[in-house]
Structure formats: C-alpha cells, structure tokens
Structure 1
C-alpha cells in the first residue's frame, strides 16, 4: 500500500548517506535508540534530593532551525509551509473552535470522574476522565495509545481564551501493538461541553508524482520507523510545539487542521490501515482530522544517542522529554530530561528556559540564527516526567512506584544565575502515572495527565 513511498525512502536514505538532498526530504538521518519510543520504567526513587550537584553548561542547550523552515509570505515549494500550502489546495480545513464543536467523544468531570490513579491522594475537584475506549483497562490486549503531554489555552493566549473556548490538549503516542504504526495524536477537549476530538499529527512531503502527501511523525523521519514519544506539548499562539526526545522540537500550525470527511471523494476514512496520499486518495488511519508539521528546531549534530536504561550523562546534548511555558516576566519555553536515577547527582536530569517571541509565537533566535537557552538548571531529583516554572519557583512531576505507587509533585527554587541547581523544598502526592505538566496562571492550577491503562485522568491542582 506504500510502494511509491518506499521507493522514495530508499532513494532519500541513500542520498542522505553521501550528504545529498533526496526528493523526499527527512528532518535528519540517524538511528534513534529504542528507549525514546518506549515507556520508561517507574522504580520508586529514593526520597528527597541528591546532594551536591553542579550547574550544567548552558552552552549545551542549542537548537538549529531545520533547513525546511520558512516563515516567508511565499515559502519555497519544498519547505514545510510550502508542502502544507499544496495540501491546503487539496483538502478543506477548519479552526480550533469549529473542531471543538464537532467533538466525537465525551469526558466525565468532577464527581462523575472516578479513577484509581489518585489512590492515596484526595481526588481534585478539577478532573476529567476519558471515555471508556480511551481509558482502556489494565489487562487490555493490543494496547495502542498512551497519553503523555498536556497544554491549555493559558499557554496559547495570555487572555486564556481561544474565541469563546478554553481548550485543554493531550498528546498520545502509538505503542505499535496493533499493526500499522500511527505515530502521534492530540486530543482537543472543550471543558464546557466535555466533548473532545482526536487529531492525527503528520509529517508533510511531496511524493514522486509531485503531489502533496504526509506520513506519520517518526524517528528517524521516514514513515517506516516508530513514532516519536511526544512526551510533552505546548500550545503558543498559532503553534503547537511537540518534543522529539532525540532530535529537538517540532511545530504544528493550529490554522492548518485538515478535515478529510469534508474532502468527500478525495479522502477515505473507512480504510484504517493507510495514511497519506495513495492512488489519488487521502488516508489517515480512519481519523477525520490531520495536522501537518510546519517547522522544527534540531540538535546541531542530528539525532542524539543517550545511555541505556533511561539514564543520562548529565552533559552534552540534552534529551527533550517534556515541555511547558513560563509566562512570568518574558515568555519562556521550558524543556527537560527524564533520567532514571544515576550514580551521581549530576545525572538527575536538566531543565532549560528558551526565549520566545510573543508577537509571532515563534522561538526568539540569537544573532547566529540559532535558538539558545537563556537559563539551564540541574534537577534536584531523578525520574522527572514534567516541569513548569513561574516566578522562580519550579514544580516537577516525579515518577512513583510503577503502576501502583503515587507520583510526587516536587517544589523547588531556582537562582538568578543563568546556570544553576534547583533547590529542593518539598513534595506532595500526585496521581499514579503523572506525566507532563502545564501551569494555568489565571486559575493558579497545575495541569497534568496520567498514562496507565485503567488509570487515565486529566486533572488540575492548586499551585
């Protein structure tokens, strides 16, 4: 079903090996370790901080714009926006508000949402349970989707509204247990109606017949590899930022959500095994909506490799495990590393703050044309799945004991230095399987999502 694409992949990979650009471009080539696409184990880390870590090198935190990025009014045909512009001529699109009004699934809220994920903590008032098919069960066979990242309208807009809506978004990655690898999807929840809708994230390309197409978001990016982990997402202005563990950060445009049902005979939603343009029709594994990538910022050396068993070296290129936004003072994007407990304090993991341009919704690049972190810190504890900062105070989600132990919400303090070590202050219980974090300033709440089947819940707690 993907014969034409496979030929292009072989050609592109061969040319990339000798430093040339193929007809079907990839973000970069390399071999990503399997750990980036799997769930990290959840050992019960030792309580409290590890002593005596040293500040990280801020210079380790650099991302370069992809050569396929373009924000010109008339982008080059082979740039990400150029490819998406060709899709725009083939498929109808709709905005976020209209998408929310067409939500196909229903969440339960508050007292109607009962979840074993809370276990030894009092269930918060602000909580949503997914529908039965998305919540799944602990003994589910052929488990497909795993929730990971979370972001809210408070990240997207300073006034914390998108039209008349206040959406909350959740990312999921495909575990690859059900045949066709589907990559990443994002759920758009309307808190007022409790309705939500899934959107498939895709990577755009021009096929061998010069037609616009797309494939799953994978690593390496060729369509025939495992999808990225999507451990964190952050919505800022018109863009949805998604972390790619070994590569950096990808961006998707909220103004470019395509509706395949509205495309009529140009698309086929009945076939759940194909994706992209095949024999003149567009497919999406049966998903009604797709949103293509429009930009990326990548490690200078391409795909990075890390120590086995989810460990970290504490130096060099960082992992991009989770992401959030800090709106205190100048807007800053936050990234951080998930690191299993190492042998020395410097292996706990690192977080960094990256400058953003509020006027464009894009990274604020330095004079050399690249994106450099403005601050970087060592984490005071290991096994961190998400982080947010606000006015110098940090909140970290620390993994608990596998599928049965409560996680922790750790509070820490930073310094005014550009490089330092977060100071552990205290912790409190969080739900089992807590992942990425997002801070909602207007409500003074920290939002997160839990991942384990049968214990999946989206919730917010007071900061």
Structure 2
C-alpha cells in the first residue's frame, strides 16, 4: 500500500489570482452558451453505420450520440476519460445545466506529430440539457507558470476524470517529470483566451490557448513517490482510469491500472476517500498525504475504466482490433461474470467497441461511456479514417 500514497501539492492562491487577473474568468454556463459543435443522436441521419455499430450489443444503449464531423474523423486527438454533472452533484445539475465532460488526449502515436503537440489535453464541455440535441465546446487544460504570469500545456493522457463538487480530477497516466498521478482543476477558474494563435501562453497582445477560446489552469496535483511502473503490482502504479463511487462513506474515487489485452500481468484497482466538497483540494489527506483505502488485484485485462457500485466492479476489456466489441466484466472478490450475445466474434464480447471512460449519472442511474477509434481498416493511424466514436448511456441495472 505504501506505493499508492499520494502527496498533495497546491498552486498558491496568489498564482491563481494573478492568472485570473490576466484573462477574463468565465463560468460553465458561458462555455455552454458558446457551444459551437453539434452532436448527432443515433436516431438521426447524422451517425454513420460504423459509429452505430460501435455501440454495445448487450445491454443495448438507452441513448447514443455521434460527434461533429471533424472530431468524428480526427486522428490527432482520441477520446479517453469521461465524467459529468451527474458525478458532481447528486441531483445531476450544475446550476441549471446538465453537463457531460469528455476528455481527449493528443494521439502521440500519430506519425509526424509535432513535439509541442505531444500530451495536449482538451475537454469537450457537452451541453446535455436537451436530449437529442447535445452540443459542445472545447476547453484546453493548462498549468500555470511564472507565478501566474504565464501558462503551459498540461501533458496528460486523460485516461480518467471525475467531477466532484467544484473540482475536476484527471489522471496523468504515466505521470510527468514531477511524478504527478492526478491533476486538479477548479470550475471557478475557467479563463478565456485573448489572442487566437497557435502558441500556448503569453504572446504579443495577450494570451493564447492553441486556438481554443477557453482554458482551465490546474490548481493542484497529487504525486507518487517516484515514476510509475506499468508492468508491476508491487511498484508505483500508472493511473489510467478514474471513476467516482457514491456508495462508500465518504464518497471515493476509484483508480485503476491498465494491462493490454492478451497480457498476463495482474492490475490494481485502488480507491481514495473524497473530502467534503468545496474545499481547497478534493481528497482526504493526513499530513499532506492521501492514502488508498483498499488495494484490489485483478487479472482482467484491457480495463480502460472501472466503475464500482455497492462493491461490484464493472470493467470492460477494450479489445484491440477493427470492429472488435469489448467484454464487460462484473467483478467481486468472489469471481467475475459477463453477458453473452450473438453478433460478435466472442460469445461474451457484447460491450462497446474500444470503450474508454465510464461515469454513473447518480440521479438517473445511467452509465455513460464513449468509444475511441477513428483508425483505418487495419487498426492503424492512417487515412482513410473509419469513424467509430460514439457517446452512449446504458442503465446500470442492465449491466
């Protein structure tokens, strides 16, 4: 358990205040009102056959949405973690809005990627107020520098995200140069860029966010004792997925490691307790340290996210390969089960294709998730891209 201990780091109030003074500070409502990308309901003509085929076979999706064309086909960024106002508050509302946050990371495996693009992390703020008419706006995640007089890109895989109260926690995957495992953002600090340029940070005439209109600066982080090891359950873990569990007291976040499909190494699933909402930082700490409350080990592979509800662990093996559906495992300390279905290459491969983060909308008990791929027909990052990205929900009771 000692390798799971996190050390809390806070960006000073002065730094955050200084940065706030350089750029307009807006709220979630402003971002949603400026949404400039439509999403297409699966019941409309806006989704392709390959996007619709990426939905789960069993259970069937309650709702599903496809992305605006440019995001449906881009190979530069890929969808990863997911959270919502259904995590943030038990009534599922942020003010008067229903919001879904979809995290996308730069595809560093794409040939020809520029070095200053690697690790870029952006979040789609999805206006989910009107079923069938979702829309979204991109927000770039950054870290303050120079005492708040500047900022730089956040390097993160965004494998997992949790919105809790007024804070957003995101995973750093394999960490950064300071071994950070989690970054923390505050919804009271969403800033508007004043210059539209390729650069990130201070430029002639103001501040730019790589062409994005809005940015969120990190207000803190949690680090491990050293760099993570993605192949050992006895070393520091690489945080991949992150979800929220409201069935514990206090509430908790649940992190998990990822092991590739076909691998034999076990992976850890480990929760941390959440403090009362509204505090400076979201995790329960003692002496500046956050301690995992449990440490579970699983031989399930390909787990991009693990959702826990009343001690049942839901995790999908997001199998590699064009058109491959995943296997959704229901795991307890007594064993694991999965659904069976027809129409897939494996009898229990019934879940969505290449699924990523999951989030339980508490007030509706709907589980939201999203799929990743816009690869070519061989599963590589070449053109032409085949759109297979879909945002969808299923009832928790059907899983």
Q: What is the TM-score of this pair, normalised by structure 1?
A: 0.72
Cα distance, 1:305 vs structure 2:
3.9
Aligned-pair RMSD on alpha carbons?
A: 2.1
Establish whether residue 357 from structure 1 lines up as the match of residue 275 from structure 2. yes
Establish whether residue 235 from structure 1 lines up as the match of residue 156 from structure 2. no
Task: Indicate if the aligned counterparts of 2:303 and 2:316 stay in contact, CA closer than 8 A.
Answer: yes
Which deviates more from structure 2 when the two are superposed, residues 357-366 or residues 434-443?
357-366
Question: Could you say which residue in structure 2 is the equivalent of 1:88?
Answer: 20
Which deviates more from structure 2 when the two are superposed, residues 397-406 or residues 108-117?
108-117
Question: Could you say which residue in structure 2 is the equivalent of 1:443?
Answer: 364
After superposition, give the CA deviation of every residue in 1:7-44 in whole Å (9 maximum; x if it has no partner).
Answer: xxxxxxxxxxxxxxxxxxxxxxxxxxxxxxxxxxxxxx
Cα distance, 1:123 vs structure 2:
5.2
Task: Indicate if the aligned counterparts of 2:87 and 2:362 stay in contact, CA closer than 8 A.
Answer: no
Name the count of aligned residue pairs.
355
Question: Could you say which residue in structure 2 is the equivalent of 1:8?
Answer: none
Question: Could you say which residue in structure 2 is the equivalent of 1:41?
Answer: none
| Distance (Å, rounded) in 1 between the aligned partners of 2:283 and 2:61 | 37
| Distance (Å, rounded) in 1 between the aligned partners of 2:336 and 2:229 | 29
After superposition, give the CA deviation of every residue in 1:174-195 in whole Å (9 maximum; x if it has no partner).
Answer: 1255534161000011122411
Q: 1:373 aligns with which of 279, 284, 292?
A: 292
After superposition, give the CA deviation of every residue in 1:282-307 in whole Å (9 maximum; x if it has no partner).
Answer: 11111000110100000022x3244x
After superposition, give the CA deviation of every residue in 1:245-276 in whole Å (9 maximum; x if it has no partner).
Answer: 1231001111111112xxxxxx321x2x2110
After superposition, give the CA deviation of every residue in 1:154-176 in whole Å (9 maximum; x if it has no partner).
Answer: 11112211111110110001125
Q: Which runs of 4+ in 1 moved over 4 A?
A: 119-123, 341-344
Which consecutive unaligned segments of at least 5 residues does structure 2 have?
Answer: 176-180, 340-347, 375-386
Task: Indicate if the aligned counterparts of 1:232 and 1:436 stay in contact, CA closer than 8 A.
Answer: yes
Establish whether residue 254 from structure 1 lines up as the match of residue 191 from structure 2. no
Cα distance, 1:119 vs structure 2:
7.6
Cα distance, 1:402 vs structure 2:
1.9
- Residue 80 to residue 410, structure 1, CA distance change in 2 (3 Å): farther
| Distance (Å, rounded) in 2 between the aligned partners of 1:280 and 1:211 | 17
| Distance (Å, rounded) in 1 between the aligned partners of 2:63 and 2:105 | 24
Q: What is the TM-score of this pair, normalised by structure 2?
A: 0.84
| Distance (Å, rounded) in 2 between the aligned partners of 1:456 and 1:354 | 31
Question: Could you say which residue in structure 2 is the equivalent of 1:166?
Answer: 98
Establish whether residue 431 from structure 1 lines up as the match of residue 352 from structure 2. yes
Which deviates more from structure 2 when the two are superposed, residues 251-260 or residues 121-130?
121-130
Cα distance, 1:439 vs structure 2:
1.3
Cα distance, 1:277 vs structure 2:
0.2
